[in-house]
Amino acid sequence: MKLNHFLDNTRRVDWLFLGITLALMTCGVCLVYSATASDNLPFYETLWFKQILYFAGGCVLAAGIVFLKIDWLKRATVPLYILSLVFLFVVLFVAGDVVKGAGRWIDLGFFKLQPSEFAKIAYLLTISYWLSRHPVSLYKVKTFVVPALLFIVPFALVLKQPDLSTALVFIAVTYVAFFFAGLTLTDMFLLASPVLSVLFSHSQDIVFQVLWGLLICAVVFALVRRRLPKVLTVLFLAANILAGYASSMAWNMLEPHQQKRVHTFLDPTSDPKGDGYQVLQSLTAIGSGGLTGKGFGQGTQTNLAFLPEEHTDFIFSVLGEQFGFAGCLFILSLYTLFLWRASSTCKLFADPFITLITMGACTIFLFHMIVNIAMTIGLMPVTGLPLPFLSYGGSFALTCMVLVGGILCMRFQGWRQ
Per-residue pLDDT of 210-233, as tens digits, reads 888 888 899 899 998 888 888 888
Q: State the amino acid at position 176 in one-letter form.
A: V
Closest among 246, 275, 272, 254 to 263, alpha carbons compared: 275
Can you say whether residue 111 is alpha, beta or left, with left for phi > 0 and alpha for psi between -120 and 50 degrees? beta
Instruction: Compute the distance between CA of residue 215 and CA of residue 37 in angstroms, rounded to an integer.
Output: 50
Mean pLDDT calculated for residue range 2-17: 63
Q: Please, how many CA atoms are within 13 Å of residue 133, restricted to the half-sphere of its CB? A: 8
- pTM beyond 0.75: the answer is yes
The chain-wide mean pLDDT, for the chain, equals 83
SS3 319: helix
- Neighbouring CB atoms inside 10 A of 146's CB total 14
Virtual torsion, Cα 311, 313, 318, 319, nearest 10 deg = 110
Calculate the CA 51 to chain-centre distance.
19
Higher pLDDT, 290 or 111: 290
Inter-axis angle of helices 115-133 and 352-376, nearest 10:
140
SS3 281: helix
Q: Are residues 245 and 344 in contact, defined by beta-carbon separation less than 8 angstroms?
A: no
SS3 415: coil
- pLDDT of 392 higher than 60: yes
- pLDDT of 162 higher than 80: no
Sheet of strand 97-99, all strands in order from the earlier edge strand to the far edge:
97-99, 102-107, 112-113
Mean pLDDT calculated for residue range 29-34: 91
* 61-108 per-position pLDDT tens digit: 999 998 888 889 999 999 999 999 998 888 877 655 555 555 677 777
Calculate the CA 126 to chain-centre distance.
17
pLDDT of residue 359: 94
- CA pseudo-torsion sign 256, 261, 262, 264: positive
- pLDDT of 380 higher than 90: no
Eight-class DSSP state of 163? -
Task: Report cis status (omega within 30 of 0) of the bond before 162.
Answer: yes
User: Per-residue DSSP letters for 86-143?
Assistant: HHHHHHHHTS-EEETTEEEEEE-SS-EE-HHHHHHHHHHHHHHHHHHHS--BTTBGGG
- pLDDT of 139 higher than 50: yes
Identify the band that residue 337 occupies on the pLDDT scale cut at 50, 70 and 90: very high
- pLDDT of 17 higher than 90: yes
pLDDT of residue 3: 44
Find the range with the poorest average confidence among 217-221, 280-284, 390-394: 280-284
- pLDDT of 126 higher than 80: yes
Q: What angle do CA 140, 141, 143 make, to 5 degrees?
A: 75
SS3 379: coil
- pLDDT of 351 higher than 90: no
Closest among 193, 171, 204 to 241, alpha carbons compared: 193
Identify the band that residue 252 occupies on the pLDDT scale cut at 50, 70 and 90: low
Calculate the CA 236 to chain-centre distance.
27
- pLDDT of 206 higher than 80: no
CA separation, residue 415 to residues 16, 94, 146, 343, 350 (Å) = 18, 44, 30, 16, 11
Instruction: Compute the distance between CA of residue 97 and CA of residue 112 in angstroms, rounded to an integer.
Output: 9
Q: Are residues 243 and 201 in contact, defined by beta-carbon separation less than 8 angstroms?
A: yes
Burial class (CB in 10 A: 0-12, 13-18, 19+), 91: buried
pLDDT of residue 277: 72
